[in-house]
Amino acid sequence: MRYFPLFADLDRANVLVVGGGEAAAQKIRLLRKTAARITVMATGLNAELEGLKREGALLHIPRLPRPADLNGQALVYAATGDRELEAGVFRAARARGIPINVVDAPELSTFITPAIVDRDPVLVAIGTEGSAPVLAREIKTRLESWLPANFGRLAERARALRQRVAARIADARGRRRLWERLLQGPFRRAVLSGADAEALSIFDRELAAQAGPTAAGRVVLIGCGPGDPDLLTLKALQRLQEADVLVVDRLVNPKILEYARRDAERIFVGKTPGGPAMAQAEINRLLVAHAAAGKVVARLKGGDPLIFGRAAEELAALAAAHLSVEVVPGVTAAHACAARIGLPLTLRQRLRSFTVLTGSSAEGLPDLDWRALAAADAAFATYMGVANAPLLRQALLAAGANANQPVVIVENGTLPEERAVATTLRDLSDCIDQLAIAGPATIFVGLDWAGAGLPRPDAVEVYRRRPPSHSYAGEAIAISAEAIL
């Protein structure tokens, strides 16, 4: 981030605009939305600016600026097209510590003017650091269509009622809770529909309720998906913004935390395979303690919280403490990884069920119905199975699985470093070893593209062992590996 976003107070501030043409007029149109005192220095003005001069909306000094003219100015705009003149204005402004913007010259500017969505007093500023104004306009257009034209009424009503809230509720967290309910519920709808009496009645009820005895907080179990922040649900984004405390698993992409409030407390409880780990009982205690203190706690989990996320234990602990809890589902890794490579999980007539299983337990490989999983029509995805892949392969083959059963491995699914490999059950262990697949990875068994009449995507590698030159007890002893497309 080169340009730090902020809003400048221009109420009765002096602003100098150098130039009298269309580029200068564009800046002055924006400035006139404020209460700034605008001075224009130019040898001539276009018709629009002449009209504003006659109305008294600006002061015109009909000459080129001198360095001393910048004294006392809060901001300076230069829009003449004369780079030599503008460079001199830039140097004079820099010497005096005055922010300056030279139109279409980032190298001569200490600030830039963003694209603005105006719902006064709500303003949305959009910047691309001068690199792609067209993108800023695209975002502005989308926001203009999304925000109601009278959206600023909400902020006006909040400003009018803020003192009443501050006088009744001393706790900052309690005030924020009240405003969240007001600005996202019936009060909001009443204000935007123009029902002011109804809005005030709702406000009085909510204020009385919030000013009463301090209520317990709540916990939200949020599924953060397999990694790509774009896969977060809208509800997950909303709950992240409400949270006072974030309790974060290891597989949650750090970029997702940028959607949370900056003042939210962050507690990292990730369990590193083979490394230090916070006990689940301690995680449960943290959730209960923070919620009992009146906080909103967001428990962030990779994938979906109800699929191998130990959500049941956390739900039980919160229920025992009589605390409110909400589960926000997320996109689980099997669905996301399959979607990334166009791998169908079910097929009409031929493949009518799909199983998700864990490849890891405290005792090693879980005790599963291997005969059912080894059936010719079985299809499943294994989570956390990289370390136990040799045991998985051995158990399936011993249960009668075809050694040529298709296997697809997706490592770091949905992330920039994603890698997908197609292999067979016979070659599963060697594929993981030779290609140094470390995880997190999802292992699909019994699924391929051919069964659906689809080509394998070019981005998917194919791993096959070379034919063995010798064998012993039915297994190859001279093995080499190659990845072929």
**DSSP, residue by residue, 179-195:** HHHHHHSHHHHHHHTT-
Whole-number pLDDT of residue 217: 86
- Calculate the alpha carbon distances from 267 to 168, 234, 275, 314 in Å: 32, 23, 18, 16
Whole-structure pTM over 0.95, yes or no? no
Mean pLDDT of 381-402: 93
| Calpha distance 390→271 (Å, rounded) | 23
Higher pLDDT, 240 or 349: 240
456 secondary structure, DSSP code? P
Average pLDDT over residues 187-208: 93
CB 325 within 8 A of CB 219: yes
- State the amino acid at position 245 in one-letter form: V
Which residues fall within 8 angstroms of residue 439, CB to CB, at 6 or more apart?
A: 273, 384, 386, 387, 411
Alpha-carbon distance of 342 to 444, in angstroms, equals: 13
pLDDT of residue 272: 66
* 458-468 per-position pLDDT tens digit: 999 999 986 65
pLDDT mean across residues, the chain: 90
CA distance 231 to 393: 32
Please say if the pLDDT value at position 477 is more than 60. Answer: no
Determine the pLDDT at residue 467: 64
What is the per-residue pLDDT across 251-308, written as a single tens digit (0 to 9) for each?
999 999 999 988 899 999 987 666 677 899 999 999 999 999 989 999 999 999 999 9
Tell me the mean pLDDT in the region 115-125: 93
Residue 49 is predicted with a pLDDT of: 97
Cα gap 373→377, rounded to integer Å? 9
Within 69-171, residue ranges assigned H as helices are 83-96, 133-146, 152-168
What integer pLDDT is reported at residue 358 of this predicted model?
A: 87
Contact criterion met (CB below 8 Å) for 430 and 407: no
pLDDT at 428 over 70: yes
Does residue 50 have a pLDDT over 80? yes
What is the C-alpha to C-alpha distance for residues 357 and 379, in angstroms, rounded to an integer?
A: 11
- Biggest CA–CA distance in the chain, Å, is 100
**Contacts of 351 by beta carbon, 8 Å cutoff, 6+ apart:** 344, 345, 377, 379, 446, 447, 451
Give the pairing of strands 380-383 and 296-301. Answer: unpaired
Taking a C-beta distance cutoff of 8 angstroms, is the pair 56, 79 a contact? no
Tell me what pLDDT residue 172 has.
84
Residue 484 has pLDDT above 50, yes or no: no
Q: Which residue has the higher pLDDT, 294 or 444?
A: 444
Q: Which of 249, 304, 427, 448 is catalytic?
A: 249
- Cα 1 from Cα 83, distance rounded (Å): 26
Could you give the C-alpha distances from 195 to 146, 157, 190, 200, 475, in angstroms and in order?
21, 12, 5, 9, 79
Q: Has 104 been annotated as catalytic?
A: no
Catalytic residue among 53, 104, 140, 271: 271
pLDDT at 171: 84
DSSP H or E run through 318: helix 311-320
436: pLDDT strictly greater than 80:
yes
What was the pLDDT predicted at 235?
A: 92
Active site residue 271: yes
pLDDT tens-place string over residues 162-177? 999 999 998 888 888 8
Give the model's pLDDT for residue 483.
35
Strand order in the sheet with 75-78: 59-61, 37-41, 14-18, 75-78, 100-102
Nearest to 374 by CA among 404, 341, 409, 401: 401
The predicted structure's pLDDT at residue 139: 95
Average pLDDT over residues 412-431: 96
pLDDT of residue 213: 65
Cα(438)–Cα(387) distance, integer angstroms: 8
Task: Say which residue the tokens 């959607």 belong to.
Answer: 259
Q: Which amino acid is at 219?
A: V
DSSP H or E stretch at residue 276: none
Which residues lie below 8 Å from residue 411, measured CB to CB, with a gap of 6+? Answer: 418, 419, 420, 421, 437, 438, 439, 440, 441
Mean local confidence (pLDDT), 368-393: 92
